[in-house]
Amino acid sequence: MSYIPADLRRAVLAQSGGCCEYCRIRQDDSGVGYNIEHIIAVFHGGQTVVNNLALSCSRCNLYKGVNIAAADPYIGDPTFLFHPRRHNW
Ligand SMILES: [Zn+2]
């Protein structure tokens, strides 16, 4: 886990609107604190910069892990996972 400075945390919280950027459930409605995670994991060369950080609930964060792609369950082909800065919800 990478250290994320307080100013970056505030910027990520502001851009997220207080919602998990993957499932869009509001942090205030969840009853638990969310994580700030790397969209492209450090493992894959992702940097600790605001455009590569997202607010994420624990379920989405654990489900995604360090992955950036997965097999499409219907056709089996590799498919990129949702990217909060590149894809529209
Ligand atoms: Zn979520």
Main-chain phi, psi angles of 50, to 5 degrees? -60, -35
**Can you give the pLDDT at residue 89?**
86
Name the band, by pLDDT with cuts 50, 70 and 90, for residue 2.
Answer: confident
Domains of the chain: 6-80 (3.40.1800)
Q: Are 22 and 84 in contact (CB under 8 A)?
A: yes
| Dist. CA 7 → ligand 1 center (Å) | 22
Tell me, in angstroms, the distance from the centre of ligand 1 to residue 70's CA: 17
Residue 1 has pLDDT above 90, yes or no: no
- Phi and psi at 61, nearest 5°, equal -65, -45
Q: Across-strand partners of 3?
A: none
Q: Report pLDDT for 55.
A: 98
pLDDT for res 53: 97
pLDDT digits (tens, 9 = 90+) for 7-59: 999 999 999 999 999 999 999 999 999 999 999 999 999 999 999 999 999 99
Distance, CA 75 to ligand 1 centroid (Å)? 24
